[in-house]
A and B are shown apart, each in its own frame.
Chain A
Amino acid sequence: GAVVSQHPSRVICKSGTSVKIECRSLDFQATTMFWYRQFPKKSLMLMATSNEGSKATYEQGVEKDKFLINHASLTLSTLTVTSAHPEDSSFYICSALTSGRPNTGELFFGEGSRLTVL
């Protein structure tokens, strides 16, 4: 199956710093990538949809200036948490949708990134 690599798997940073998380599709092209945040009670919250070459579409309530998403190529999307605060500590997961039509395929997920803001 298709492989999505997410890096780093764990990151600890000080409050006020910025952290970048990368999501790469290793063996396929992903025109669309999704970023999720998973809370301790396990539910997945879709943060934004990232389309290659265009601006990300953010879900209601997600701060665009705080969670910067860039999808510069068909194999890479990045999430930057700017000026991180302890409440941003969470498990962030990316997923990718293969390109091509008709697209009835499943999502392929990265392994997740555990962010801890001190």
Chain B
Amino acid sequence: AQSVAQPEDQVNVAEGNPLTVKCTYSVSGNPYLFWYVQYPNRGLQFLLKYITGDNLVKGSYGFEAEFNKSQTSFHLKKPSALVSDSALYFCAVRAAFGGYQKVTFGTGTKLQVIP
């Protein structure tokens, strides 16, 4: 079984400060890891993914995430937060074996950027 944990229900950060949204995972095999963002009453939008290669992945809107295999983590980061970054963020994992297609999401973290 695979699982994703987002330990923080909400993260508050001042505009201009760096932000981190935490994610840890558990999966058999090599993980495919994703971050998505959701704005109110909207579907989810893809931000970035880790499949293989460099542990630091850069994505949309200035976001990046660092894959840490030993800590089984994939934390989302941004050097300087904007008020418009306020939204709900989901971490997700897919296991890369066979034809397995199921994606498991974390419970989501609400990011509040304070002006």
Contacts and interface: CB of A to CB of B under 8 A. Distances in A.
Contacts of B71: none
Given A104-B51, A104-B96, A106-B34, A42 B110 contact: yes
Contacts of A4: 43
Residues of A contacting B: mostly: strand
Interface residue tally on B, bucketed by range: 20 to 34
A112 B43 contact: yes
A68 B65 CA distance: 37
B51 A44 contact: no
Contacts of B101: 32, 49, 97, 103
A84 B88 CA distance: 28
B44 interface: yes
Interface string B80-115: 000000001010100010000111110110100000
A104 B46 contact: no
A104 B32 contact: yes
Interface residues of A, number: 24
A93 B43 contact: yes
A49 B103 CA distance: 10
Contact of B49 (A106, A108, A110): A106
B12 interface: no
Interface string A45-61: 01001000000000000
Interface of B: 32, 34, 36, 41-46, 49, 51, 88, 90, 92, 96, 101-105, 107-108, 110
Given A46-B103, A97-B101, A109-B36, 14 more contacts: A4-B43, A42-B88, A42-B110, A46-B105, A49-B102, A104-B51, A106-B49, A107-B34, A107-B36, A107-B46, A108-B46, A109-B43, A110-B43, A111-B42
Closest 5 CB pairs of A and B: A109-B43, A109-B44, A111-B43, A106-B46, A42-B108
